[in-house]
Amino acid sequence: MNTAAGMKVVTTRKEIQAIATKLKKEGKSIGFVPTMGFLHEGHLALAERARKENDFVFMSIFVNPLQFGPNEDFERYPRDAEGDRKKAETAGVDVLFIPTSEEMYPHPLSVQMKVTKRTDVLCGRKRPGHFDGVAAVLTKLFHLIQPDRAYFGLKDAQQVAVVEGLVRDYDFPVEIVPVGIVREKDGLAKSSRNVYLSEAERKEAPELYKSLQIANKAVEEGERNPEKIISIAKQHLKTHTNGKIDYVELYSYPELQPVAELRGRSILAIAVQFEKARLIDNIIFEI
Amino acid sequence: MNTAAGMKVVTTRKEIQAIATKLKKEGKSIGFVPTMGFLHEGHLALAERARKENDFVFMSIFVNPLQFGPNEDFERYPRDAEGDRKKAETAGVDVLFIPTSEEMYPHPLSVQMKVTKRTDVLCGRKRPGHFDGVAAVLTKLFHLIQPDRAYFGLKDAQQVAVVEGLVRDYDFPVEIVPVGIVREKDGLAKSSRNVYLSEAERKEAPELYKSLQIANKAVEEGERNPEKIISIAKQHLKTHTNGKIDYVELYSYPELQPVAELRGRSILAIAVQFEKARLIDNIIFEI
């Protein structure tokens, strides 16, 4: 690890915890990148950031069944174990943790985690229980890997907000590091689900980011009314894509509370449903 | 710490976590004794055991409001900060953590913990939410203190069972060490609540333990029928105390499931309500 010896691949909780515990006892710092695999440049940017700030970089690849609803895409979530290993190693990951569902959840949980704030808006509103599953798996992973810092992409800004709440409320000895969205050249936010877009949809997809940029311009020019900013983005999406607008919402960040007027940090977040892919994107305003 | 310098008393989360993190980086082991204070020999036995098995001993004193129901004795739970400090220091505690409720819970939790197994029997049945509060505060304390081992008295055997479930399910890097019940010379299990007993009740109180001993004798002589064992203990309590029997129950341990016949590990647990104190006691059978 952290040497020419190459990346170590670990599949059991016992082994990953033993490796992490040993490193911590030696005073080494651990940066952790939790993922569901099918790695793209967004994930790799997290690993590269972790590489710069820690002695060792751990990455997990685990498609967590607890965070998928019964009608969601758990079974067909894209997977590419072999490609992921190569990408992770190239990005400087020292330890890759790839457990099975049975390894992570050998029996039903005797304690449930229930996220009660920051969840009833944006994607959380239509995914009841989703963030409960996220909180449970991250609690386990944080205990197994004992990171000093954990890296999360701001593409799922609601997830970052929920995780910051979890870590703050339960005093996890870990710093959450939010990392900016990585985009294709045409502006489309990188996502494992982009592979589901048809050719025509792929051409429209950058309009999500454009709608955010147009709204951002209005804010830069002085607009502070949330309704108007939402309307600007929505209008652009309506006229430039054939996808179904799932939501265009604006909240304080990370509290995710409605605001009467833009002030401090806030987020404009959008979701558009295409035929086989639901795309999300967002921009954070700092005023 | 661990020197002649004496015991350090800490009141903030930030400071206790910094101390623990520093020790962990130096490769030191930490033994942790969580308490609600009003220390007696039961607690001190936990600290002494921790002293033997770890480089440093941390103790917390925190009457956790989350684990008390609205009609329970949170306000009148006995407190003795000054006496506790002296006892903790004498028992070899290196770091004593005494936070206020505001320090532990500066804002409402955004993630709730809900214990769904091992709770609907014994004391848990009549204390809805009690173990949710226990799980929440221990999760926080484990993150703040990062112990290698945490020590719990078997007097609250259900609590030990719930905590073992929590630690197992969420892979906390901590070993739970259950420690046997410490008793007065006449057999009464040590408890902070014993001070509430009237003189007459105090004389009857050892009959709880006697009822367990009589049941144990029956088991040693071959009795394997849970109903009969329960009945033996209950009969003794009925005829030897004026307290109201709250429960006499027998389950597998630590699963706390009903059993048709004694086999493996099981627990016989009793609770008796006196005027101002509810006493509990138990015995674990290994067959």
- State whether A114 and B114 contact (CB < 8 Å): yes
Could you tell me the domains of chain A?
8-179 (3.40.50.620), 192-286 (3.30.1300.10)
What's the one-letter identity of residue A208? L
Q: What is the pLDDT of residue A76?
A: 85
Residues B185-204 have a mean pLDDT of: 94
- In chain A, what residues touch B116 (CB-CB under 8 Å)? 109-112
A64: contact with B, CB 8 A cutoff? no
Q: Cβ atoms within 10 A of the Cβ of B158, count?
A: 26
Whether the per-residue pLDDT at A75 is higher than 90: the answer is no
Residues A152-181 have a mean pLDDT of: 97
- In chain A, what residues touch B13 (CB-CB under 8 Å)? 171
Compare CB distances from A21 to B118, B170, B173 and report the shortest one's residue.
Answer: B173
Work out the burial of residue B106: count CB atoms within 10 Å of its CB; fewer than 13 is exposed, 13-18 middle, 19 or more buried.
Answer: exposed
- In chain A, what residues touch B27 (CB-CB under 8 Å)? 25-27
Starting from the edge strand earliest in sequence, which strands make up the sheet with B265-273, in order? Answer: B244-252, B265-273, B278-286
- In chain B, what residues touch A24 (CB-CB under 8 Å)? 24-25
Compare CB distances from B110 to A109, A116, A144 and report the shortest one's residue.
Answer: A116
Residues A74-88 have a mean pLDDT of: 92
Q: pLDDT tens across B203-255, in order?
A: 999 999 999 999 999 999 999 999 999 999 999 999 999 999 999 999 999 99
B135: contact with A, CB 8 A cutoff? yes
A26: contact with B, CB 8 A cutoff? yes
DSSP 3-state percent helix, strand, coil across chain B (nearest 5): 40, 20, 35
Q: What is the pLDDT of residue A126?
A: 87
**What percent of chain A clears pLDDT 90, i.e. is strictly above it?**
92
- Residue to test with chain A: of B55, B60, B67, B111, most A Cβ within 10 A: B111
Dihedrals phi, psi of B286, to nearest 5 degrees: -120, 115
Binding residues of A for ATP are 36-43, 153-156, 182, 190-193
How far apart are the CA of A150 and the nearest CA of chain B, in angstroms? 15
Per-residue confidence band for B162, with pLDDT thresholds at 50, 70 and 90: very high
- Contact in structure between B252 and B262 (CB atoms under 8 Å): no
- Residue to test with chain B: of A111, A146, A158, A168, most B Cβ within 10 A: A111
- Contact in structure between B84 and B37 (CB atoms under 8 Å): yes
- In chain B, what residues touch A139 (CB-CB under 8 Å)? 170
Q: What is the pLDDT of residue B283?
A: 98
Query: Which bin fits B146, alpha (ψ -120 to 50), beta or left (φ > 0)?
Result: left
Q: What is the pLDDT of residue A5?
A: 61
Whether the per-residue pLDDT at B269 is higher than 80: the answer is yes
Cα B7–B11–B14 angle (5° rounding)?
Answer: 110
The bridge status of strand B149-153 relative to strand B175-179 is parallel
> So which residues of A are the catalytic ones?
43
Residues A110-118 have a mean pLDDT of: 95
Region of poorest pLDDT, from A35-49, A209-223, B73-87: B73-87
Q: For residue B145, which of B24, B46, B44 has the smallest C-alpha distance?
A: B24
Per-residue confidence band for B58, with pLDDT thresholds at 50, 70 and 90: very high
B43 is catalytic: yes
Residues A235-259 have a mean pLDDT of: 96
- State whether B143 and A25 contact (CB < 8 Å): no
A21: contact with B, CB 8 A cutoff? yes
- Name residues 89-128 of chain B within 8 A of A (Cβ): 108-118
Per-residue confidence band for A158, with pLDDT thresholds at 50, 70 and 90: very high
Three-state SS annotation for chain A: CCCCCCCEEECCHHHHHHHHHHHHHCCCCEEEEEECCCCCHHHHHHHHHHHHHCCEEEEEECCCHHHCCCCCCCCCCCCCHHHHHHHHHHCCCCEEECCCHHHHCCCCCCEEEEECCCCCCHHHHCCCCHHHHHHHHHHHHHHHHCCCEEEEEHHHHHHHHHHHHHHHHCCCCCEEEEECCCECCCCCECCHHHHHCCHHHHHHCCHHHHHHHHHHHHHHCCCCCHHHHHHHHHHHHHHHCCCEEEEEEEEECCCCCCCCCCCCEEEEEEEEECCCCEEEEEEEEEC
Q: Please give the residue that has the higher pLDDT: either B2 or A88.
A: A88
Per-residue confidence band for B2, with pLDDT thresholds at 50, 70 and 90: very low
Q: For residue A213, which of A142, A130, A276, A281 has the smallest C-alpha distance?
A: A281
Q: For residue B162, which of B116, B126, B125, B128 has the smallest C-alpha distance?
A: B116
Binding residues of B for beta-alanine are 67
Q: Which residues does residue A35 pair with via DSSP β-bridges, in sequence order?
A: A61
b/e map A12-39, b = 16+ CB within 10 Å? ebeebbebbbebbeeebebbbbbbbbbb
A146: contact with B, CB 8 A cutoff? yes
- What is the four-CA torsion angle of A43, A46, A52, A53, rounded to 10 degrees? -140
Compare CB distances from A17 to B20, B140, B173 and report the shortest one's residue.
Answer: B173
- State whether B144 and A118 contact (CB < 8 Å): no
Cα B24 to chain centroid, rounded: 26
Q: Cβ atoms within 10 A of the Cβ of B230, count?
A: 17
- State whether B25 and A21 contact (CB < 8 Å): no
Q: Structure tokens of A283?
A: 């921009």
Q: What is the pLDDT of residue B5?
A: 61
- What is the four-CA torsion angle of B38, B44, B50, B52, rounded to 10 degrees? 160
The bridge status of strand B111-115 relative to strand A111-115 is antiparallel
Q: Cβ atoms within 10 A of the Cβ of A87, count?
A: 20
C-alpha span between A285 and A60 (Å, rounded): 31
